[in-house]
Chains A and B, each alone.
Chain A
Amino acid sequence: MKRRQWLEWLDDAVNPIVVKEVRQAVHCRFLPTILLAFLGFQLATLSFYLMTKGASGIDLLEGASYGEEVFGVLISLLFFATGFCVPISAAVRMHAERSGQALALFFISTLPPRRVISGKLGSNLIVTLLLFSACMPYLSFTYFLRGIDLPTVFAALAVGFAASAAGILSAVFLASLQVSRFLKLLLALAGLGWLAILFSMSIGSAFALREQGVASLFSGSDQWGPMLVGLVICGALFSMLYVLAVALVTPVTANRALPVRRFIMMVWLVLTLGAVADCFIRGQQDLVVLWALSTYSGLAVAILAAIGARDQLNSRLTNEVPRSRLRRGLVFMLFSGSANGLTWAVVMIALTTAVHHLCNRRLGDDFNEVAGPLLGMCAFILAYALLAVLLQRRWLSRWIRRSQTWVLALTLITAFSLTPVMIGFLLSPTSMAGSASLGLWLVLNPFAVFSDTFDEFAIHVGIGWAVVMSFLARHWFMKQIRNFKPPVASDG
């Protein structure tokens, strides 16, 4: 009886999406076919290898390292299946459930969005595990063929599993985005590119492990620091993707920005503390530079994401606005909304700049070397974002949806970056020979701030332009601040 109760508890505890997806996987022909083909191919590879080597009269067990070779073939096949097939299948299913009429069914249950995403991730990880378990006996067998040890096999599998998890979550995140068909296609291509990167990274690591053995990881003491930093960054990126995917499947009526911004602020705080501690204790700027680069780049993306958000609070969000003016001021940047998002990004950029300035003073470095160009780039992005907002809200709302203002901003960046250069080339082709001679023609390019010759000028142009655009957008911005208030209490 106790056992039955325990099983029932376990059955209830399992995420419903996991149950559904695994059942679907069992019913469909795709997974069993892939699995059987996978097993068959491994068996054929191993048999072929054993037979050909055996037939050539080579003693497989004496001083050879054939296990290493077979391992290479099998692990490549496994990583391809779990790094491409599983994430693509996850994306296709998610896309089908998130598009068109099927969307209704996505929301009508009481299943919270985080369970939807964790269910999708969990069910696809189970499929990955299934493929791993199908491959495990063959990979373990390579040990007997020499040239590889079991800890290395398991370490390589762990790397592949992590890459597959990252691929699945990325696929689920991309499939959760509700954009036009054309953008979906572009995102799908970008996603495939990302999966290819993950695949090459995982296969590269597996081959490196094969060459050096897992014991090489523990041989020195100087690699632990970078490894820890790498793990923290990977963990933060993975969690970030999860939080973003959850926000994307949260109903639009809710304050979707809050969990995302809260999470980013938390990660920012942890990374800032780490970077500052490293700077003050070790007196080196490597970690600070890495931190600044990732933070400014992330916040530039946040600026573009913010401008597609709503300009007006819905009644549900209005009810969540605090009555106290002080609290209202504090939480303004944590609400869904375009002005709210931009405020948050600008505040975070200011905080990052302040911390970076502090670190630079401690190290005695030139502030403009790293933070200056990054700040200039963010200023450019802000200026383009505000220009896109003004154009979309005033004149282009018929043709471009508010949620796609970021596309307009990117188009403006491309147009303003390329057009002057093309005009310059038409006017004086001979003076455009080298990058240094492009000079002022690149002044509207956000990446001109990284130039060696006129970076300072470009930074000043970027900041100046952002100030001008902020002034022009002041009415749009102030209107949202004025509207950010709780509903008027009724007499009843």
Chain B
Amino acid sequence: MRLSVEHLKRTFGDVTAIDDVSFAVDAGEIYGFVGPNGAGKTTTMRILATLDEPTAGDALLDGVSLIQQPERARRTIGFMPDHLPTHRDMSVDDYLDFFARAYGLRAAHRRRVVEHIEEFTNLTGIRGKLIHTLSKGMKQRVSLARALVHDPGVLILDEPAAGLDPRARVELRELLVALAGQGKAILISSHILTELSEICHGAVILEHGRMVGAGSIRDLLQEQTQHLIVCLRALSEMALLHRDVVALPGVVAARPVGEGLEIDLDGDENLAAEVLAALVAAGHRVVEFRSRQGDLEDVFMNVTRGEVQ
């Protein structure tokens, strides 16, 4: 299943929430949807979940318009909003059973599906508990389970990792990878870019409602990471080391990271070797010198300006 977004635009009165947003996510792919607060991520996701209508543009699921046929599209979309289930006086099992019924799943099949989803999302042990008594992490799981109950081809997850503890995050990542392995197209928004880098095949970056980058992680890195990044640690005084490093030719910038420096070089590994030789010649006792791959965070910092609408 392929989700393609074409020139999506949404205005609220005089305010343009999103403008000319276009991208595509294929089956089995996980795409990160990133941007500063107020960039238009949730607005886009709500449109894709058929909860809002765009001012212009369209979104297609295997050629079927979400705007023209939202009822049909809902059968193939699983949406996990950024808020947690609030239904009071309902157990996890009843909650999932209700949505399974609402999606038209019948009798024994419905029972099997709910059990399978509970097992998959590790909810079997708490299936009888009331939802409002669960922890945030557990509620997130329930919300994900609900989004999966009708076996959608496309998953739209709005901040699923927000507020989760490290263990729950790792488990969520594993779940998402497993779901992508099942052939689902996944669009996930998150502020934790390092985590997205690990599981995403591609990313869409929004700022001010406009798309400032989209594509596979590799393409984005090639496009947006202009410098070679080197991590340096030496048994020298930091201020002295920093002064000598920035004075070297080819060094664009150097910033302290932990006990060492992170250096942006305007060149390839030959330049890195020359920088290392110069530092050793200057009497610095270098104990670590390695190049670092750029990641989504670097791309994000390069393409956005940190302004909110």
Q: Name A's B-contacting residues (CB within 8 A).
A: 8-9, 11-12, 16, 19-20, 23-25, 27-28, 96, 101-105, 107-112, 251-253, 314-316, 319, 397-398
Contact = CB atoms under 8 A, between A and B. Distances in A.
Nearest to B101: A16
A9 to B, nearest CB: 8
Interface in B40-93: 46, 49-51, 53-54, 56, 58, 67-68, 70-71, 74-75, 77, 79, 81, 83, 85-91
B181 to A, nearest CB: 24
A108 B94 contact: no
Interface stretch (B103-111, B254-262, B269-277): B103-111
Contact of B46 (A12, A16, A19, A104): A104
A12 B81 contact: no
Contact of B49 (A24, A101, A108): A108
A356 B53 CA distance: 43
A19 B89 contact: no
Interface in B1-56: 13, 46, 49-51, 53-54, 56
A107 B50 contact: yes
A252 B94 CA distance: 29
B85 A28 contact: no
B71 A110 contact: yes
User: Among the interface residues B51, B74, B130, B150, which one has the most CB atoms of the partner chain A within 10 A?
Assistant: B51
A23 B68 contact: no
Contacts of B130: 27
Interface residues of B, number: 39
Given A16-B102, A23-B90, A24-B89, A316 B107 contact: no
A104 B79 contact: yes
Nearest to B46: A104
A315 B67 contact: yes
Contacts of B13: 397-398
Contacts of A315: 53-54, 56, 58, 67-68
Given A252-B53, A314-B53, A315-B58, A24 B88 contact: yes
Interface of B: 13, 46, 49-51, 53-54, 56, 58, 67-68, 70-71, 74-75, 77, 79, 81, 83, 85-91, 94, 97-99, 101-104, 106-108, 130, 150
Given A105-B81, A108-B79, A110-B102, A8 B107 contact: yes
B90 A110 contact: no
Ranked nearest first, the 4 interchain pairs of A and B with the lowest CB-CB distance are A16-B101, A109-B102, A27-B89, A28-B89
24 contacts: A8-B106, A8-B108, A9-B107, A12-B101, A12-B106, A12-B107, A19-B98, A20-B90, A23-B94, A24-B89, A24-B90, A25-B89, A27-B91, A28-B89, A101-B83, A102-B86, A110-B71, A110-B74, A110-B150, A112-B71, A251-B50, A253-B53, A314-B67, A315-B54
Contacts of B53: 252-253, 314-316
Contacts of A12: 101, 106-107
Contacts of B108: 8
Contacts of A111: 102
B85 A105 contact: yes
Nearest to B108: A8
User: Among the interface residues B68, B77, B130, which one has the most CB atoms of the partner chain A within 10 A?
Assistant: B68
Contacts of A23: 89-90, 94, 98
B74 A108 contact: yes
B256 to A, nearest CB: 41
A226 to B, nearest CB: 44
A12 to B, nearest CB: 5
Nearest to B156: A108
A27 B81 contact: no
A340 to B, nearest CB: 18
B86 A27 contact: no
Contacts of B58: 315
